[in-house]
Every structure is written in structure tokens, then in C-alpha cells.
A and B are shown apart, each in its own frame.
Chain A
């Protein structure tokens, strides 16, 4: 186990706590940069989706994980970013202008949502964000002169200073990686600044934060605006990656998927956003495998174990029938959410920390370190 000898107060808020971090994050970055040259185009495209989901995850962690404000409306912010990009691009405006413009517009809308959120808390806030998302979805479907309504909208490849960036090229991959690293650095820097500490104080107790002189209204609006702006940037990348956007892509189900990212990853640290995004994006390829490969594999395994060929064929058919049953994805999503909340409430990042601590303290690890205390319902009504 490493002991960091502290000689300076600034050591507490350093981004990289000690030299080991330089090594591990350096290697990770090197691997990510080398990735496009190592893997096929399908996997590369999946990783781009991981990056986009992770940016939204970081945005949600700033809002939900740091500030404690729940939102089930982030698909709407993503949609606003995506449509801003699509519309401004069709007006002939260049990428380096509309990329920040999308972030600013989405951030402004986020601040507007933040204002009513000042008086709302808990379940009232959740329903208000759902209502907001529904209204945005309907506006997108009706405002045909800008959004082309339900027909959807084509989004051309990015034109970066005359240099086209096709959506499955390496350049697009690096652009998404850059934005993700940028937003992670933003979140980490926010966390070690007075603003981030104010966010966390608001999450832990609004009353206490207020009595310490924290301007609740200002910081809540700031948190909403930052989170929305990041999601808007992810929306621009999303629009270019999909190359076609329509209102029914940005429904409540997408918002729920984003919340799943931080629940699966763990909402208390930025690492969680990335881990959760990897998990969520990989569910689809996993389901395809379940449909195609697993039955064949199971049948051949059964044959090698001495099962009659007819019976093995029947087994394969049953397995593929289960694998391709309609709505299997919904059932698996539901199970994943419930299992994580019941058994792994700190998410994948929490599990990672537990495993790490186990090896650091090897013979002395106590299970009780991470045990949750029993809590009891206390009314949130008079909070």
C-alpha cells in the first residue's frame, strides 16, 4: 500500500494524486489513441458510442451525482444539441462555430429548466423534467420549418475548416475522445473548485449549505446549465454519428438509458460514467450474440458432450427462440437496473474500488468497510 506523504495543502486537490496515476492514465490514453489502428470498424464505431454516452454520463454525474438534482429529461438536451447542429449546418455555418453554439444554446435552455427546479425537489423535480422532455419532443415534431418534423433530418459529415470528417473515420473517433477527455477534466476541475464543493454541499444538505452562505439558486442553475451544455455537445457528436435525427430517437426511454449509465457505473465519481457507458453500449452486441452465436455454441457443446444430433438441434432452436423473443431487451434492461440497485448500489466503479482496496490491504481487508448502514424512511415532505 502506498502512503502519500503530504507536505502541502494543494496536494489534497491535485488532479493526479501521485506518480502512479501518471502511469496508469498515461497507459490508458495511449491504448485509446492506438485503438483505431488495432480494432475493426464495427468495434470502433461502438467505442464512439461509448464516448458519446460517457459524455452524457459525465454531465449527469455533475447534476445528479454532485448536486443531487435528479433529471429524467436529458434526452431533450441531447436533442436540442443535435437539432442545433443539424439546423446550423444546413444554413452553411461551419463546425467550429456551431459546436460551441450548440453547447451555449443547450446550456441556456438548461438554465431555464433550472429556474423552476429551484423550488422543486425529489419527485416533483423528476416529473418536471419528464414534462419538459415531452414538450421538447412535441416541439421537435411540430416545428417543421426548422426540424422537418417527424420526417427527420439528415446531418452531413462534419466540415472542419474545409477538411471533411466522415462519421466512421479515425478523425471522428479522436474528436469524440478529445471531447470526452475535455469534459472529464472539466468535471474533475469543477470538483476541486469552490463551485464543485458548493454543489456537493447542496447535495448533502440544502439547509446546511444555505446556512453556510451558499447561494442555492445560483449554484443549482449553474449545475443545470453546465450539465445541459455538456449534453448538448454530446448531442452534436450524436447527430453526426447517426447522420439522421428524428424526434422519436429522443424519448423518455433514452433518458432512462442515460440514468442507467450512471446507476450502473456509479454516480459518485466520473469513472462511473465511462464504465456505465461501456456496459450500456455493449448490451446490444451481447443480445445479438445471444440470438446468433450462443445457440450454435450450446448445440455443438451438447453434441460433444454426447447428445444425439436431433436433440441438440432442438436445443439450438429453443435457445434461439428464447434469444430472439420480442421484448427480451426490455426484460434484460429491467433486470439490470433492479439487480444493480439491489446488489451493487455503488455501481461498477464502487466494485472496482472494493477490489482495489482488497489487494492494497490484502490480508487485512474487512468486508464491513463498504457495508451500507441500515437506513429508515423519514419523510422528505418537510425538507
Chain B
């Protein structure tokens, strides 16, 4: 029984990692209906930035964290301005391919700049564990869980209770109508890319002690976080975290109880089954177009 609980807890920790990255996917989708396949690579870039600030320049951890998040927010805005704005509104699949291209580009450029070795940074969460009876949770995983919960709550409140959040939802419904209503659409889109990149950077920094920093970390985690977002229903913030938790727990339990090889496939099998039953994910809206 303890084994099971321990596996469950580590599954939840892993799920929060996926959820944290999935949050970034969902934010951009919620405001602009754009699916950003390069989200994992933005996270990877955030990790490299924090390595540069802390490991190379030698800043304090929290200062480096702040700088990396700010730098990534600017980077996200620049990406939106250069790559996304000219093609916004074209078929969704073209934009998906453009972001896949961006991911390719960022991965290899990061590999060229920072090399292909695993990089490490010292963080306050690197060592130490929390003991609850017989249960053991490492601090680095705990930090991810806490950050996911806080970010999820803050972003949920932002989207549902602030003027800007409402403007973002309106933009995604119908950009032209939102523009006529006086919503500064370009600013809204820029802002959401900045927020999303900042969330990605946060994920990258918190994951640095767990997965280390290398140029392919974004692809590997992004490909798991993406099903998480879909499972929760693209466009639902709590859905992203719950989807991440489901994927993480299934992956960990499948790795523990099922024969080898199931660990990587089980999340996708579950995803296909869920999509068969609910084509818009667990928490996605299921509306039909009325003519």
C-alpha cells in the first residue's frame, strides 16, 4: 500500500510538471486559438537563461529566476511580433507547423550556443526532503507542485475576473468583433505570449534541478504536456493541470505495475480513449456550430 501511495505521489509530482507546461499551451490557445508546439522549447530556453544568469554570471538564485522570467517574457513578445502576427487568422494547421519550425530552430540554436551536455545549477530546492510519516517528497518536486497550484489559481482568477482576462476571451471568440468593441487586440495577443513564455520560463527554472538543462528537454516534456492539455480540454486552465495529473499518474503507475514499454505508451492510449468518448477533452466546451 505504501508503495502505491509513494508511486501516486511521485506521479502527482510528475503530473504537475506536465501541468505547468500545459498551462502555457492553454494560455495561448485560450486567448488566440493558436496552438504553440514550441512551448516545451520556450521552457528549455528559460532553463538555459537561468543557467546563464546563475551559473555563468553568478547572480543570486531568486534574482536570476526573476531575470530569466523577464527575459523570456520579452522573448515571447518578440516571437509573437515576428512569427505569429503575420499569420494569425490563417488555417490553424499552418500556425501549428510554424511553431513546430520554431521549436526545431530554437533546439538546434540552443544546442549550438550552450553545447549538448547536461547543465546543472545550484538551487535552494536541490537538496532536502519533506517527510510525512513514511512518505518522502523531495523539495525540488514539492516546489513544482506548489508553483503549479499557485500559478493555476492566479491565472484562473486572471482570466475569469479581470478586465484583461475578459478581453482575452473575447479576442479568441472573434478577433474582428473584439476589435470593434475597442479591445486593443494586438496588445492583448502580445501580452498573452509574454505571460505564456514567462510561465514556460518558470517551469524551466523549477525543472532545472530535476531534469537538468539540455537542448532536447523541451521536446521530450512538451510531447507529454501536449496530451495533458488536450486531455483536460484545450482552453481550460484547471483542465490543463488535471490533464497533467492524469497523464503523470498513469505514466508512473504503468511504469511500476505494467510490463516494460507500457510506461511511454499508456498516456497516449488513455488519451485516445478519452478523445473517442469526449472529442473535446474532459473539460472542453462541446458546442456545435449553428447555421
Residues of A within 8 A of B (CB): 64, 70, 116, 119-124, 126-128, 130-132, 134-135, 138, 141-142, 207, 211, 252, 256, 259-260, 263, 325-331, 333-338, 341-342, 345, 372, 374-383
Q: Which of A131, A345, A381 contacts B287 (CB 8 A)?
A: A381
CA gap between A342 and B175 in the complex, in Å: 20
Q: Which of B56-114 contact A (CB under 8 A)?
A: 83, 86-90, 92-98, 100-109, 111-112
Q: Nearest 10 CB-CB pairs, A to B?
A: A337-B101, A334-B105, A334-B104, A327-B108, A330-B108, A375-B89, A382-B287, A131-B268, A331-B108, A119-B279
In the complex, what residues of B have CB within 8 A of residue A379's CB?
A: 33, 172-174
- The reply on B265 being an interface residue by CB < 8 A is yes
CA gap between A380 and B90 in the complex, in Å: 12
CA gap between A326 and B107 in the complex, in Å: 11
Q: Which of B21-56 contact A (CB under 8 A)?
A: 29, 32-35
In the complex, what residues of B have CB within 8 A of residue A130's CB?
A: 223, 226, 268
In the complex, what residues of B have CB within 8 A of residue A70's CB?
A: 93, 96
Residue of A nearest to B110 (CB): A327
B279 pairs with A124, CB closer than 8 A: yes
B265 pairs with A331, CB closer than 8 A: no
- The reply on B147 being an interface residue by CB < 8 A is no
* Nearest Cβ on chain B to A4's Cβ, whole angstroms: 32
Residue of A nearest to B37 (CB): A126
CA gap between A123 and B232 in the complex, in Å: 13
Residue of A nearest to B176 (CB): A376
A377 pairs with B226, CB closer than 8 A: no
A342 pairs with B86, CB closer than 8 A: yes
If A207-B289, A376-B176 touch, whether A135 touches B269 (CB-CB below 8 Å) is yes
B287 pairs with A327, CB closer than 8 A: no
Interface of A is mostly: helix
In the complex, what residues of A have CB within 8 A of residue B107's CB?
A: 327, 330, 334
- The reply on B116 being an interface residue by CB < 8 A is yes
If A328-B108, A337-B98 touch, whether A126 touches B93 (CB-CB below 8 Å) is yes
* Nearest Cβ on chain A to B124's Cβ, whole angstroms: 33
- The reply on B171 being an interface residue by CB < 8 A is yes
Q: Which of A138, A263, A333 contacts B265 (CB 8 A)?
A: A138
Q: What are 16 contact pairs spanning A and B, CB under 8 A? A: A119-B275, A127-B230, A135-B269, A135-B272, A207-B291, A325-B112, A327-B109, A331-B109, A338-B83, A338-B98, A338-B105, A341-B97, A341-B98, A377-B172, A378-B175, A379-B174
In the complex, what residues of B have CB within 8 A of residue A259's CB?
A: 97
- The reply on B276 being an interface residue by CB < 8 A is yes
Residue of B nearest to A113 (CB): B272
B276 pairs with A116, CB closer than 8 A: yes
* Nearest Cβ on chain A to B249's Cβ, whole angstroms: 18
In the complex, what residues of B have CB within 8 A of residue A338's CB?
A: 83, 98, 101-102, 105
In the complex, what residues of A have CB within 8 A of residue B172's CB?
A: 377, 379
Tally of A-B residue pairs with Cβ under 8 A? 168
CA gap between A366 and B102 in the complex, in Å: 33
Q: Which of A127, A207, A331 contacts B105 (CB 8 A)?
A: A331
* Nearest Cβ on chain A to B47's Cβ, whole angstroms: 17
* Nearest Cβ on chain B to A218's Cβ, whole angstroms: 18
CA gap between A211 and B290 in the complex, in Å: 12
- The reply on B122 being an interface residue by CB < 8 A is no
B234 pairs with A123, CB closer than 8 A: yes
* Nearest Cβ on chain A to B39's Cβ, whole angstroms: 13
Total residues of chain B contacting the partner, CB 8 A = 63
In the complex, what residues of A have CB within 8 A of residue B96's CB?
A: 70, 123, 126
For the A-B complex with A207-B289, A338-B98 known, give 17 more contacts whose Cβ atoms are closer than 8 Å: A70-B96, A122-B92, A124-B280, A124-B281, A131-B272, A327-B107, A329-B108, A334-B106, A335-B105, A341-B101, A345-B87, A377-B33, A377-B89, A377-B175, A380-B92, A381-B33, A383-B289
B275 pairs with A120, CB closer than 8 A: yes
CA gap between A128 and B107 in the complex, in Å: 24
CA gap between A325 and B109 in the complex, in Å: 10
Residue of B nearest to A328 (CB): B108
- The reply on B288 being an interface residue by CB < 8 A is yes
* Nearest Cβ on chain B to A128's Cβ, whole angstroms: 6
If A134-B265, A377-B171 touch, whether A335 touches B101 (CB-CB below 8 Å) is yes
* Nearest Cβ on chain A to B267's Cβ, whole angstroms: 8
Residue of A nearest to B38 (CB): A334
In the complex, what residues of B have CB within 8 A of residue A116's CB?
A: 272, 275-276
If A138-B265, A207-B291 touch, whether A375 touches B111 (CB-CB below 8 Å) is no
In the complex, what residues of A have CB within 8 A of residue B226's CB?
A: 127, 130
In the complex, what residues of A have CB within 8 A of residue B29's CB?
A: 123
If A259-B97, A338-B98, A338-B102 touch, whether A211 touches B291 (CB-CB below 8 Å) is yes
Q: Which of B101, B281, B289 contacts A336 (CB 8 A)?
A: B101
- The reply on B133 being an interface residue by CB < 8 A is no
* Nearest Cβ on chain A to B144's Cβ, whole angstroms: 24
- The reply on B235 being an interface residue by CB < 8 A is yes
* Nearest Cβ on chain B to A94's Cβ, whole angstroms: 34
If A381-B285, A381-B287 touch, whether A330 touches B104 (CB-CB below 8 Å) is yes
* Nearest Cβ on chain A to B82's Cβ, whole angstroms: 9
B89 pairs with A142, CB closer than 8 A: no
A337 pairs with B100, CB closer than 8 A: yes
In the complex, what residues of A have CB within 8 A of residue B34's CB?
A: 377
CA gap between A138 and B261 in the complex, in Å: 7
- The reply on B118 being an interface residue by CB < 8 A is no
Residue of B nearest to A132 (CB): B272
